[in-house]
Structure 1
């Protein structure tokens, strides 16, 4: 599952602060600027014990300790991992994910869906997609005792544990939402939860979810209720609270478009796969190793086009978040649409998944 964050926004388009207030927070803006600059520096290097905490860019070797099926159609497996030799794993919060570097060379991101208080284990859930990119099938084949290389945890979908909240999940989008709802229940928050899927057989963790307060949980399926309307997804929004949503593109688009009609004040979305290219212009990329010139249309990414010629090019999140698809730029000026690279790195590199040509001229890439 590839992930991206659409940042929290207030109903009038002004970024909401951590308390859900629909106005700018100057202190948070200053803090965010400092964090961007500081983390952009420290995460370019391997883990240094002198740094406080865990560097999510440093690799960990984890071992599979448990594998269980969590959906009735048997297509979703929950995998639990621990540190080789035991010991604690780095702390995480609801919304965090791990980057898996698979033996095949594929890199995939999966949301943590276990208990943040369990410092010895990580748990994810993966739906097998036979005709997908291969990562989910490879993950499903992992058996207890298998070791994998992992980086993280990272949090691109943070949960603010306070106030009221509506949680909306579609299918395997339950994975980042599940620990959020558990924490909301534990804290006694005012919460509502809409869980949607094709059928009950395809929906993971359904038994646990249906054991919760039935006045707060609405489980709906396409088979029983038809495709969800925006009112089905947002009708339970808590006045003055936040909406957290993860699921397929149509669900996210419906929530994003109709959110202003609710009385909630903050919206947090996480999507699967690459987002639609907005305000793009056509440009060319030249593959330096072969001299081949490719045209990147206004509505496609350079990564998408290059993969058609170089299927083995590395990528993972497709959102400008993980940095897997970074490549040296030998000529031309990129338009950087992410903050993953430092200013110095941006002078020489770009991310294929989101970066474009700044002036429409050809980019010569070290590929």
Structure 2
């Protein structure tokens, strides 16, 4: 069964490219060159400017031989002859992907070889020390084991629309892969230091740091003075990153969906810093959670000591904050209330919560159990 027919006969396109072969050879590394628009008009707009450009550097239908394009033409467009040029809108440099990094992204043996996931993160990391703080988006890459070049990569800056062209001719060696890079049309005035997406290998690295007990807010503060502004994410991204890592690390049976099992997630948090001394008791069915901090205990004990003659612990509850939990056979839990015990210190500090409970049980037995556990943990009982 034949595939989908092409929108335009490539032989006719080759003829038009051949008529403009001089301009094509001089602009083979520039996606914004006028020549691509001119060719697009000649074929009545059947192909996009991007498709026409990609036809040449990727050597489709072996067009280099027909257009008399040599490796030197690519190198001439990629690396300037006058290395002393002070053009601030262009940048040319060489990157080295070491053997270990190359093994992580090297293409697998298949009909159309492609770099493995994560190659954009490694390339971004390599480029960030060389360029003008651009936010790179990679459009495509092409690998040829039989052509004149081994690897070509095209990209552009999300903010200033600078163009990136990466070339390797010989392929990897024992030391890794050498990449010749060219950046054109840089406009630093359009940069806003927008953060890159946190994904792939970098996301895993950050999540492991957060899982070791480092709070997202502390991680953000530690990197606030970093020169790499595009690597500074907001709290929402860091918290989501940690949440995903926690869910992956919960060791439960495959039949349990941890994303919809808050009881098991709470149990995992109970043994994770900084919640090891905050969550004290968890019940599955009927559901309840007792939690308070040592700071709250100290505040309450100081309050009792300073108000020996007259002290009040006010208890209040609300049922409008917590959703019902799922139970087997499409059943649901009862309403879950948030209970809080507060003390009134003075007019300056007002009321301060000192003990909390989430509970499905709204009776004196469970409320009494909650307060007894609190007293057992160090709260001073009122002496009459």
TM-score, normalised via structure 1 length: 0.21
> Which structure would you say has the larger RCO, counting Cα contacts within 8 Å and 6 or more residues apart?
1
What TM-score do you get using the length of structure 2 for normalisation?
A: 0.20
The structure richer in helix per residue is 2
Which has a greater percent of strand? Answer: 1
Q: Looking at CA atoms only, which structure, 1 or 2, has the larger radius of gyration?
A: 2
